[in-house]
Amino acid sequence: MQIPVRPRRAIAPGSSPGRARAVPDLTYRARKILYALVTEYVATGEPVGSRTLSKRYGLNLSAATIRNELTDLEDAGCVAQPHTSAGRVPTELGFRVFIDALAQMRDVSDRDRAAVLARMKQLRPGVDDVVREAARMLASLSGAAAVVSRRADREAIAHLRFMPLGERRLLVVIVWQSGAVQNRVIEIAEALHNDELERLHNYLRELAGAGDEGGRSLAELRTALAEAVAKERDAYDGLRRRAKEIVEAALATPSAGEDALVIEGQGALFDRREFSDPEKIRRFLRTFEERERLLGLLDRTIAAGGVQVLVGSEAELDAADDVGVISSTYRANGVPTGSLGVIGPSRLDYAKLMPLVGFTAQVVSDVLDGHSLDEAEDEDVE
């Protein structure tokens, strides 16, 4: 399996995201030592010494030679030494070199693949919240927090209903193809009688294709109504105009039933070694409160496509500098609808999580599109 990963220029330690530093031209031996150091640091969370690398990674190099290479890697900005007598840890730049080397990734593990398929086969689009369940599963498999952006207005409508709350107030209940439910209370210009409301409901449901495979999104419904109002002049003209008013109001009204950002698994994240420091927990909690920034970060994945990885200041999250984010776009009816991924400290297991996130996003897309997952057990995900 090959999941496309768009290479990014690396960020030099201590620099701002706007001043990117090019990945250094490292020798094969230097890269081999760097990859071993990152792997060991991801596993232990401790600074890595030359003797550890020599003993555990079959480098066939003396500890003195490895020390010399580590000095060169430090000069190149790929590793740092927290204390004079300590080993080295990877910097943002070192992580970026390692991550870019994973662009041709190994396949998702058989165990993770089976777990994803088994859980997703149990879900029913339009009934179960497919995307939230995928986030919970990712958090469980990764040991990190899972984050999901859901731009529901782009997603196909499965069910649509209107209920009067007063003379000029309506409750719009929308069930999306993913199973997410949204309730939006809107104000309308004139009161509607029950028979008018029923006619509007039937007309909009038919125009949206609600309940049918390939139904319209709320935004597409607005466009179709605008075209119908502009082109057709008949007995239904007044009905179309009222329908257009309702849809415009629904689009302009925030959802009361579902957030655009879903975060799952914070508890498992804080069990990691890094979070023995209470201040780091506080910083990550502040990161989760930066909801608009997180949404913007995940929306960048939608624009870029493929699996995206951000390390440290690349993520542009004010509250946390020691952070790693892996995300991928999912689709509904062929339309990019949102992103899902994991967030944690920079010491994430990228070799495991990059293919896992990409595979999960593809399986979510297949479920939302109504495709059978049986074939996925025997085929690679492109």
Average pLDDT per block of 10 residues along the chain, 382 residues long = 38 35 80 93 92 88 91 94 87 91 77 92 78 92 90 73 83 77 82 84 79 67 81 72 82 59 85 82 86 84 81 80 89 81 91 92 87 62 42
**Other Cβ atoms closer than 10 A to 296:** 12
Place of tokens 């080993």: 87
CB 148 within 8 A of CB 339: yes
Distance CA 66, CA 88 (A): 12
The reported pLDDT for the residue numbered 149 is: 87
User: Helices then strands (H, E): number in the chain?
Assistant: 13, 12
CB atoms closer than 10 angstroms to residue 333: 18
Report the pLDDT value the prediction gives residue 259, as an integer from 0 to 100. Answer: 63
Nearest to 86 by CA among 62, 65, 70, 97: 70
Q: Is 160 helix (H, G, I), strand (E, B) or coil?
A: strand
Q: Confirm if 324 and 343 have CB atoms less than 8 A apart.
A: yes
Which H or E element spans position 207? helix 194-208
- pLDDT for 226 equals 81
Q: Quick check: helix, strand or coil at residue 276?
A: helix
Q: At 162, which helix (H) or strand (E)?
A: strand 157-164
Query: Could you give the 3-state DSSP secondary structure of residue 173?
Result: strand
pLDDT at 207: 82
Query: Would you state the pLDDT for residue 10?
Result: 36
Is the sign of the CA dihedral 186, 182, 174, 220 positive or negative? positive
What radius of gyration do the chain's Cα atoms show? 25
Q: Could you give the CA distance from residue 80 to residue 88 in angstroms, rounded to a whole number?
A: 5
In this prediction, residue 7 carries a pLDDT of 38
The reported pLDDT for the residue numbered 19 is 37
Tokens of 135: 């986030």
Domains in the chain, please, with CATH? 10-101 (1.10.10.10), 110-151+260-377 (3.30.450.40), 154-252 (3.30.390.60)
CB 69 within 8 A of CB 37: no
| Maximum separation of any 2 CA atoms in the chain, in Å | 88
173 contacts 161 by C-beta, under 8 angstroms: yes
In whole angstroms, give the CA distance from residue 283 to residue 274: 12
Please give the torsion angle defined by the CA atoms of residues 191, 194, 200 and 205, in that order, rounded to the nearest 10 degrees.
130
| Residue-level pLDDT at 360 | 95
Report the pLDDT value the prediction gives residue 319, as an integer from 0 to 100: 65
pLDDT of residue 220: 80
- pTM over the 0.75 mark: no
- The answer to whether 257 touches 139, Cβ cutoff 8 Å, is no
126: left (phi over 0), alpha (psi -120 to 50) or beta: left
Q: What pLDDT score does 9 carry? A: 36
Q: How far apart are CA 19 and CA 96, in angstroms?
A: 15
What's the rounded Cα separation, in Å, for the pair 142 and 96? 20
Q: Cα dist. 136→203, 209, 255 in Å?
A: 37, 30, 22
